[in-house]
Amino acid sequence: MRYSLDAGKSLRFTGAIRAKEQPPTFDYDQKRAECVEFWRTMGDKIRCLPDTEDARYLGIYRHMVMQCTQMLSRYEGQEAITVRQGDVARFVWPYEGAQVLVNLERAGITEYSADAYRGYFDRWLVRTGEDAGKIGSNAGWENFTGSVIWGLSEHLLNVDDPTKAAEFLPYLVMMRDWIKRKRHSTREVGYPNIFPCGKGSDWSEQGQFWTFTDSHNCMALRSMCKALKKYNFAEYDATKAELDDYSRAIISIRDELFSGHEHDEAYILPHMLGIPFEDSENYSYYTDGAPYLLYTGFIEPGSTIMQKMEAFFRLRGQFEKGLTGRMTSCASMWDEAYFGGYGDVWYTMQSETYWIRAWCASGQRAKALESLEACLTYGLSRECIAAERYCSINPWYNPWQPNGSGSSRVIEMMQTYFGVKPV
């Protein structure tokens, strides 16, 4: 479409997404009405809301739920569902997808989850060889297998379906066993009993990312144990033993690294083992590092470790207006909002989830509300679409939208702060 405008003039047009071939007859008004009705019906499936009467919060919440459902795709010739993180499915992040599915279920929408997990198994499960049980993907994070264990286990806890649980049990055991083999794999260097060096996230560094990989795996096994116990599966004992042994390894690392820093004014646990923190500050440690231990249960809300870590971020100016993810890796083509934009870009809609949960649990609700409001103010576009970046000097820089997991975390943050009420 081409057009030109004189100064001060405006133009309005309406666009429609259609199939590759236009049907012989197409009534736009009818199709629009059908589309509106489809999404109204989808909205009626919401069964849990934040426990507030504030129309602004409730409106945003419903937007976020709808955006999450829009990330679910069933392509031609497929029974399974693909959970997209954005507008396309060329890349799949099971970590982000599990967040979308779990938070949709927190809103009461459970009917799509099973087909989504079947999709991960159909497309990404390694079925034979040394890596049998691993969930791959073209994004390649080490915590993807744990992500599917966590999300699927939470789904089985949210429904009461022994037949479905029996269907998925072999997959859960297969993934659990891969994690066990992986963390005990032979290596000459590094910490024992956790994953060896690998790719922790979309950042390119290779290392032992114990906070984002191993603690996440433990959170997944914790949920798996609950699901196995609910359905009275015999695999519970072996899974609980693996969880306990794995957790002891994480706790041992945490305590070793924190020892001697109890009286520091500020301190943060390193996210990449064997490397001084100062040599890995260009990594996404504000989302994937020590703060994630608040989410996975390895740092207690209100504890000394949490207090020292919060002081670390505040003293360095990495908490501002409630935002908790000031980036320190803005030297690439992806995260430069403008040339010289170092330090002015924030990773939104992720670390705030951990801090809001911890602040609410430790009675610091004013901080939690400030952070929630920051996400709604700086992490959403004017059209209420979740993004993954915010630039304090360039408000038009808000890439990676729509953002499935970002939308889903708003659901979680609101439920954490306000509590939950049934519809």
What is the sign, positive or negative, of the torsion defined by CA atoms of 104, 210, 303, 379?
negative
Quote the CA–CA distance of 2 and 13 in Å, as a whole number: 12
The rounded radius of gyration (Å) of the Cα atoms in the chain is: 22
Q: Are 108 and 248 within one domain?
A: yes
Q: Is residue 65 part of a domain?
A: yes
Q: How confident is the model at residue 112 (pLDDT cuts 50, 70, 90)?
A: very high
Q: Are 294 and 400 within one domain?
A: no
Considering only residues 192 and 341, tell me which one the structure prediction assigns the higher pLDDT.
192
Residue where a domain terminates, one of 283, 307, 331: 307
What is the residue whose two structure tokens read 């992500």?
147
Q: Are 64 and 104 within one domain?
A: no
% residues pLDDT > 70 (the chain): 95
Residue where a domain terminates, one of 307, 330, 355: 307
Q: How confident is the model at residue 394 (pLDDT cuts 50, 70, 90)?
A: confident
Q: Is residue 90 part of a domain?
A: yes
pLDDT for the residue 339: 44
pLDDT for the residue 171: 98
Q: Are 114 and 54 within one domain?
A: no
DSSP code at position 413: H
Quote the CA–CA distance of 142 and 194 in Å, as a whole number: 12
Share the mean pLDDT of the chain: 92
Q: How confident is the model at residue 338 (pLDDT cuts 50, 70, 90)?
A: very low
What are the tens digits of pLDDT across the range 192-248?
999 999 999 988 889 999 999 999 999 999 999 999 999 999 999 999 999 999 999
Q: Is residue 89 part of a domain?
A: yes
What are the tens digits of pLDDT across the range 357-374?
999 999 999 999 999 999
Q: Are 202 and 97 within one domain?
A: yes
Amino acid code (one letter) for 115 = D
Q: Quick one: average pLDDT of 380-404?
A: 86
CB environment 199-224: b (16+ within 10 A), e (fewer): bbbebebebbbbbbbbbbbbbbbbbb
Q: Are 270 and 338 within one domain?
A: no
Residue 423 predicted with pLDDT over 70: yes
HSE on the CB side for 45, CA within 13 Å? 18
Contact status, residue 96 vs residue 89, Cβ threshold 8 Å: no
Residue where a domain terminates, one of 261, 281, 307: 307
Contact status, residue 194 vs residue 225, Cβ threshold 8 Å: no
Q: How confident is the model at residue 330 (pLDDT cuts 50, 70, 90)?
A: low
Q: Is residue 34 part of a domain?
A: yes
The residues near 230 (Cβ < 8 Å, ≥ 6 apart) are 156, 157
pLDDT for the residue 142: 96
Quote the CA–CA distance of 405 and 39 in Å, as a whole number: 20
Residue 187 predicted with pLDDT over 90: no
Considering only residues 380 and 334, tell me which one the structure prediction assigns the higher pLDDT.
380
- Two tokens, residue 150: 């966590």
What are the tens digits of pLDDT across the range 35-88?
999 999 999 999 999 999 999 999 999 999 999 999 999 988 889 999 999 877
pLDDT for the residue 14: 77
Q: Is residue 239 part of a domain?
A: yes
Q: Are 64 and 80 within one domain?
A: no
Q: Are 276 and 386 within one domain?
A: no
pLDDT for the residue 145: 98
pLDDT for the residue 41: 96
Domain containing 262: what range?
75-307
Q: Is residue 294 part of a domain?
A: yes
Residue 328 predicted with pLDDT over 90: no
Residue 3 predicted with pLDDT over 50: yes
CA nearest to 202, candidates 412, 400, 410, 409: 400
CA distances from 379 to 10, 115, 285, 323 (A): 28, 30, 19, 9
pLDDT for the residue 343: 59
What are the tens digits of pLDDT across the range 282-306?
788 999 999 999 999 999 999 999 9
Number of domains the chain contains: 2
Residue 107 predicted with pLDDT over 50: yes
pLDDT for the residue 325: 93
Residue 393 predicted with pLDDT over 70: yes
pLDDT for the residue 289: 97
Considering only residues 189 and 348, tell me which one the structure prediction assigns the higher pLDDT.
348
Q: Is residue 264 part of a domain?
A: yes
The distance in angstroms from the start CA to the end CA of the chain is 44
Q: How confident is the model at residue 16 (pLDDT cuts 50, 70, 90)?
A: low
DSSP code at position 337: S
Q: Are 416 and 382 within one domain?
A: yes
Considering only residues 240 and 90, tell me which one the structure prediction assigns the higher pLDDT.
240
pTM score, whole prediction: 0.93
Residue 21 predicted with pLDDT over 80: no
Q: Are 294 and 374 within one domain?
A: no
Task: To the nearest 10°, report the CA torsion of 392, 70, 413, 116.
Answer: -130
Q: Are 190 and 295 within one domain?
A: yes
Three-class SS string for 127-193? CCCCCCCCECCCCCCCCHHHHHHHHHHHHHHHCCCHHHHHHHHHHHHHHHHHHHHHHCCCCCCCCCC
- Peptide bond preceding 402 in cis form (omega within 30 of 0): yes
pLDDT for the residue 271: 96
The residues near 8 (Cβ < 8 Å, ≥ 6 apart) are none
Using DSSP's 3-state secondary structure scheme, residue 239 falls into helix
Q: Quick one: average pLDDT of 374-393?
A: 90
Q: Are 290 and 265 within one domain?
A: yes
pLDDT for the residue 329: 64
Q: Is residue 25 part of a domain?
A: no
Q: How confident is the model at residue 337 (pLDDT cuts 50, 70, 90)?
A: very low
